[in-house]
A and B are shown apart, each in its own frame.
Chain A
Amino acid sequence: MLVDTHPVCDAPNELKQKESYFSDIKYLIVGALFGIVFVKAEIISWFRIQEMFRLQSFHMYGVIGTAIVVGMISIFLIKKFNIKTLNGEEIIIGKKSFSKGNIYGGFIFGLGWALTGACPGPLFAQIGSGFMVVIVTFLSAIVGTWTYGLLQKKLPH
C-alpha cells in the first residue's frame, strides 16, 4: 500500500531558502492573474463544464490542451537550459507516484466536477465572482478532504 510519505503530494514547496509572508505576496499576485483568466475564459462556468462533458464544445479541451502543451514546452526548456530559480536554486519537479487512488479518486472527483462545475481552482474564483453559495460547496470539499484523511488507511491504494 502506498502511504503518502511526502508532506505534500501535488504541489510541494521545494524552495530551500525561507520566504517571509511579505515575499509570499507574489504568489497571491500570480493567483489573482490566474483567477482573472479563469473568469475571462469562462472556465469557472458550470455551463462550460457541461459543454465539455457533453462533447458539444471544444472550448475546455482547447484551454486544458493548450495549457498542457505550454507547460510541457516550458519544463522542457527549463531542463534543457538548466534554468534556475530566481535565487539560484535548482528547479525540482515533484514525482507523482502511481496508486489505485489515481483511478478511484480520479473517478470520484470527476463525478463531483460535473455536479459543481468546478475543480478546486475555479471554486475559489466562483466565490470571488459573487456566487456566494459556492462557499457551501467549498466547505463541503474541505470536509471531503478531511474524510479522505480519516479513511486513508482503509481505502485501496
Chain B
Amino acid sequence: MLEFIKQPWHWSIAGIFIGLTVPVLLIIGNKNFGISSSLRHICAACVPANIPLFKYNWKKEIWNLFFVVGVLFGGFIGTYFLGNPSDIQIASSTMQDLKALGVSDFSSLMPSDIFNFENLFTLKGLFFFVIGGFLVGFGTRYAGGCTSGHAIMGIASLQWPSLVATGFFMLGGFVMTHFGLPIIFNLINK
C-alpha cells in the first residue's frame, strides 16, 4: 500500500482531491477555497500600516492561516514519508529546452542549480526568488485571487471574472517562459 502511495500520482487523482477541497471547505465551515488571501492576512496581522486593504478583522479569517500551515506540513509529510524514491520524470522536450537555457539538475522537484541558498545574493536569486515572489504576491492580490481562488473556486462557481483572470495568469506565464526566461538566463549565464 505504502509503495503504491509513494509513486507519483496521476493527474486525475490529484485533480479529484483538489476539486473536492471546494465542497469540503464549504460543508465543514462555509469557507470559500482560496490561498493567496493568506498573504493578505499576514500583512494585516503584522504590518497593516494604516493601509485600507489591511484594515479588517483578520482574526475572523484565521482558518485560512491554519489551512496554509497545513499545506506546509503536508509538503513535509509528502516529501519525507511518502516521497517518490526515483527522479522526477519530465517531458524530454522540456528537459532539452531547459538544458539549452543552462539548467543541469533534473533529479528532484526543483532544479538545485536555481533553488539554492548559495544563489540568494546573485542575479539568479534576484530574479527567481525576490522578483518572482514579489510578482506572485503583488499580482494575485491585484487580480483578487490565485489559481485556487480564481481558476478553481471561481470557474467552478461559474464566475466569468475568474475565467478572465485565469486567462491572464496563463498569458503571463507564456510570456515569461518564452520571452522573459531566455533573456534572464542569458544575463545569468554571462
Contacts and interface: CB of A to CB of B under 8 A. Distances in A.
Interface in B1-31: 5, 8-31
A44 B165 contact: no
Interface string A112-127: 1111111111011111
B57 to A, nearest CB: 7
Contact of A110 (B43, B62, B153, B172): B172
B137 A47 contact: no
Contact of A35 (B25, B53, B78): B78
B188 interface: no
B63 A24 contact: yes
Contacts of B146: 10, 109, 119-121
A12 B133 contact: no
B133 A96 contact: no
Contacts, number: 573
Q: How large is the interface on B (under 10, 10 to 19, 20 to 34, 35 or more residues)?
A: 35 or more
B133 A91 contact: no
Contact of A109 (B13, B128, B139, B155): B139
Tell me whether chain B's interface is mostly helix, strand or loop, or mixed. Answer: helix
Contact of B173 (A11, A30, A110): A110
Nearest to B54: A149
Contacts of B128: 115-116, 137
Nearest to B15: A66
Interface string A68-104: 1111101101100001011001011111111101111
Contacts of B94: 47, 50-51, 54, 56-57
Nearest to B168: A106
Contacts of B147: 64, 113, 119, 121
Contact of B9 (A40, A94, A120, A139): A40
A32 B71 CA distance: 5
Interface in B138-173: 138-162, 164-173
A15 B29 contact: yes
A147 B142 CA distance: 10
A124 B35 CA distance: 10
B174 A53 contact: yes
Contacts of B116: 133
A129 B47 CA distance: 28
A43 B110 CA distance: 11
Contact of B149 (A10, A46, A68, A153): A10
B8 A40 contact: yes
B79 interface: yes
A110 B179 CA distance: 13
A95 B172 CA distance: 24
A72 B32 contact: no
Contacts of B73: 28, 31-32, 35, 128
6 contacts: A15-B30, A45-B90, A64-B151, A101-B143, A120-B136, A147-B138
Given A38-B78, A63-B18, A64-B152, 20 more contacts: A10-B146, A11-B64, A13-B31, A13-B64, A34-B74, A45-B88, A47-B88, A54-B177, A75-B157, A96-B150, A102-B168, A106-B164, A110-B139, A115-B131, A121-B147, A124-B69, A129-B76, A134-B129, A140-B129, A140-B134
